[in-house]
A = this chain, B = another copy of it.
Amino acid sequence: MAGSVNKVILVGNLGRDPEVRRLGNGEPVVNLRIATSETWKDKGTGERKEKTEWHSVVIFNENLGRVAEQYLKKGSKVYIEGQLQTRKWTDQQGQEKYSTEVVLQRFRGELTILDSRGGGASEFGDEEPGQVARGGEFGRSPPMERRPEPAGASRHSDFDDDIPF
């Protein structure tokens, strides 16, 4: 529909390491499981309570997928921006099922790592992390100069590297 917005913003932690499938051309498709939670105080008992919500995230965005694959692990805290999508599927018993996911389409969405070094509980080495990446770019574009001079900016030059951060 003309004039619609479908946006999900999550800040939460990975419940497990990212799951990576790979397309024929080598592009990763990454699935994340992210927990958000709320805490409150029960007014009757005074107890602290907590309710956790689990979210399935699917990253089709190539650059963000590579960032997720390389730097995220179980326990990592991330900022994620995607869109809601519900898909229908049939289980092995022939039952129709619906799954709603937060999807980062190709060239869309955002993923920002919020803990240093990707945080997390994994035993894997801690390479220098790449903490920010955005969907609508191949590599990274520099922030456009404000009040730009009317000098010709070659569009091509914005895309000559393919490193996501």
Give complex CA distance A49, B132 in Å: 13
> By CB atoms of chain B within 10 A, which of A2, A8, A49 has the most?
A2
Tell me if B12 and A147 are in contact (CB < 8 A).
Answer: no
- Interface bracket on A: 35 or more
Tell me if B112 and A4 are in contact (CB < 8 A).
Answer: yes
Give complex CA distance A101, B24 in Å: 34
Tell me if A9 and B7 are in contact (CB < 8 A).
Answer: yes
- Residues facing B in A74-113 (CB within 8 A) are 77, 79, 83-87, 95, 97-100, 102-103, 105-108, 110, 112-113
Tell me if B161 and A41 are in contact (CB < 8 A).
Answer: yes
> Which residue in B3, B85, B107, B157 is a CB contact (below 8 Å) of A136?
B107
Tell me if A2 and B158 are in contact (CB < 8 A).
Answer: no
Q: Given that A105-B141, A144-B106 are known contacts, is A12 also in contact with B5, CB under 8 Å in the complex?
A: yes
Give complex CA distance A21, B142 in Å: 21
Tell me if B105 and A152 are in contact (CB < 8 A).
Answer: no
Give complex CA distance A36, B114 in Å: 12
With a cutoff of 8 Å between Cβ atoms, the chain B residues found around residue A39 in the complex are 2, 132, 140, 165
Tell me if A79 and B11 are in contact (CB < 8 A).
Answer: yes
